[in-house]
Structure 1
Amino acid sequence: MAKKIPKEKNRRDTWAYFRTAGPVTQITCHVEGDSVTIDNADPHQTRTEISYERASGKPKRISTMTSRDGAAGLDFQAYLMDNYRYLCGVDTNYLDLDDKRIAVTAIYHCPTPIQPGTKEIPIEFLALYVVLEPQPGVNPELIGWHLALKHLKNPGDGRVVGMVVDSEAGRIPEFNSRAEPLLEDCYLPPYVDLIYASADKKDCVTNHFIRYCDQAAAMMLADLKSGKATLPELSLSNTELYRGIVRVKPKNRVMSSGASQP
């Protein structure tokens, strides 16, 4: 039997992206260690990104962080450790069941503070919600983010909570700069920033967070679809964002024991 040749992994690159606040005639770049800044760059549009080139030539985003101080970091993991005190992940999956749209939001978090140089970040289950009939025209992912924010507290030390998501990547700079609300009049609190990560990769701890959330939400939806789980009695909503909601406490659904950095 011929030995199967393992598929070669695409080379990962870390990129620093900047956008100037207006027209410029020259660009001045400053590099200090792993930190990069560009004069006259819009700090809200500055980001650090890990990606690889697809066969089509287009980049595949693995994880992206927008800047908090106008600088981009060439060491993604180090920048993450230096700027965020806590991390959480939130993902929402949905399906149509009996002519009703049902969404499930799963939230995982890091229960202990992150310190620069941290080698391992524990990832623990936090909450699971079943949402009945999210408002048509509203991305159910945004409803999930709104639910996750209820669980996040201000670290109170100048550092912030990084909330890992896998949707609306192009709008994250506007959400993080508070130029755009998540929903209606709901803006991100000043102590929370969104971080984009892909659930189908395992390169970074951010990918682990969103992967666990995606798996938990998918498992709950599969149980509802198969009849293994029945739709619980939902509390009627006082918002137009959805018809009803319930927080579920699943048994034996702890999916993580920690995620080491690569």
Structure 2
Amino acid sequence: MTLAQRIVCARAKICDARIPYEVPELDQLAPRPDSVLRVIYLVFTEGYSASGGEHVQRLDLAAEAIRLGWLLLRLCPEAETRGLLALRLLRHGRRSTRTDAAGDLVPLEDQDRSLWDAHELAIGRAMARDALRARGHGSYALQAAIVAVHAEAGTAAQTDWARIAGLYDRLLHHEPSCVVALNRAVAIAMRDGPQAGLARIEPMLNEPPLATYHLTHAAHADLCRRADRLADARLSYGRALDLARQEPERRFLRRRLAELDA
């Protein structure tokens, strides 16, 4: 069942049960934003990078998550609300360059940055700065700050990986998840060289849940490729291909394997 169908079913159940619509009092709103932020985060994530299927992005979901983010910011102008909206805007601002005309995935380092949405990115960067300076900021503000560093770089080579790695250190403290640890390892590799990243990623290859996460193996393969460990890169690209569910990602991994063979 699609998200839209679920919303329709939920509305029907509310009508059938005759549940009245009531605006919560301010003291009742306080415990709720975390759950709402999480839902908006998940909706945008599915829109930004679909979990499966023929397309990388579902722009209708991404746009709806941003709309809800603006509404929530008016009701709850806290640091994390601002941080989440900044994160959405900064990622959404790159939407036109994430795939090519054929719908194939374009890595961040190869995207034409002149085609990014400069206005949306400027708003996102300003909001990310405000969120990070505010009291009570957390993981959303830190994620927005990381993406803002990418947005500030004129070219991929100008990316401030030292700053990104430092922000990931802070993010891992706020959100000690395996995916954050994986992303931090990649940032360290970009700062200190592929061997530094491989030393952190290789123990993750056999640890659940990262052992069955296609991006773990894709990241390992890319660092092996950069370190001229081509046989290991080939094995990890193959494993990532076995696990990937999104067709554009699968085509990208096949291209990487073909490049190694060439």
TM-score (norm 2): 0.24
Q: Kindly indicate which of the two structures has a greater share of residues assigned to strand.
A: 1
Structure possessing the higher relative contact order (Cα contacts under 8 Å, 6 or more residues apart): 1
TM-score (norm 1): 0.24
